[in-house]
Structure 1
Amino acid sequence: MAATFEVESTLTDRYQTTVPETVRRALKLGKRDKIHYTIRPSGEVVLTRVEASDGDDPVLGQFLGFLAADITRHPERLQAVDAGLVQRIQSLVGGVDVDLDAALSADDE
């Protein structure tokens, strides 16, 4: 049976902590890596390293992070999409087949 290691870290006043070196080594974490938390019904929390996909776009990820933070800070800014706009969009693109997995042509890149 593999040895079990136990380590501790302390939360700051802002609920931040440093990931202990033994955990960073075990998960092969580097700067800017992401950690996934799984919370089990027993209250146990399992940390795993998030594996970056080759298809991940760092710019898109930053933009989506910006949107998520803005929505969190200002939920009052969210608005429903007007039904008239939805109908107009559908009239413009209705019946258009798109293969999202198809490679772009040289002109489109």
Structure 2
Amino acid sequence: MTGIHEIATLTSKGQITLPKSIRQTLGVTTGSKVAFELRGGEVIVTRAESEHQDPAIGAFLSLLEADIRTGKQVGALPVELAQAMLASAGHAVDFDEDIEGDVAL
């Protein structure tokens, strides 16, 4: 791979715009996350992997984020669902564990 050398200007707020060639090479677009690693005197910029690898969860979170950004009212969760979510918060989950009971899709 041929190296890419680009220069960006730091704003007074400490911001830079990643040059187009860098964005394309990293495969990042609006809303993507990038990671910075300081190695000696060099900064390594990489595409940050998404927290959620499940495409359905990622799509849902993107829709939810878009609604929040545009000011749409996000409806309240049913009380039972909110209570179940709070009860499960912080507990390890085994995604390979068999599901108990009936499942309706």
- TM norm structure 2: 0.51
Specify which of 83, 94, 97 is matched with residue 100 of structure 1: 94
2-structure distance, mates of 1:35, 1:99 = 28
> 1:76 maps to what in 2?
none
Equivalent residues, number: 70
- The Cα shift of 1:50 comes to 1.4
Specify which of 41, 44, 59 is matched with residue 42 of structure 2: 44
Q: Which moves more between the two structures, 48-57 or 22-31?
A: 48-57
2-structure distance, mates of 1:44, 1:12 = 19
| CA RMSD after TM alignment | 3.0
Unaligned runs of 5+ in 2: 62-91
Q: Which consecutive segments of 4 or more residues in structure 1 shift more than 3 A? A: 55-59, 103-107
Unaligned runs of 5+ in 1: 60-97
2:21 aligned partner, one-letter code: T
Q: How does 1:68-107 map to 2 (within 5 A)?
A: 100-101=94-95, 102=97, 104-105=99-100, 106=102
Q: Identity of aligned pairs, percent?
A: 24
2-structure distance, mates of 1:32, 1:39 = 23
**CA deviations over 1:40-95 (Å, ceiling 9, x no partner):** 1x211111111224248565xxxxxxxxxxxxxxxxxxxxxxxxxxxxxxxxxxxx
- The Cα shift of 1:103 comes to 5.3
Larger radius of gyration: 1
- TM norm structure 1: 0.49
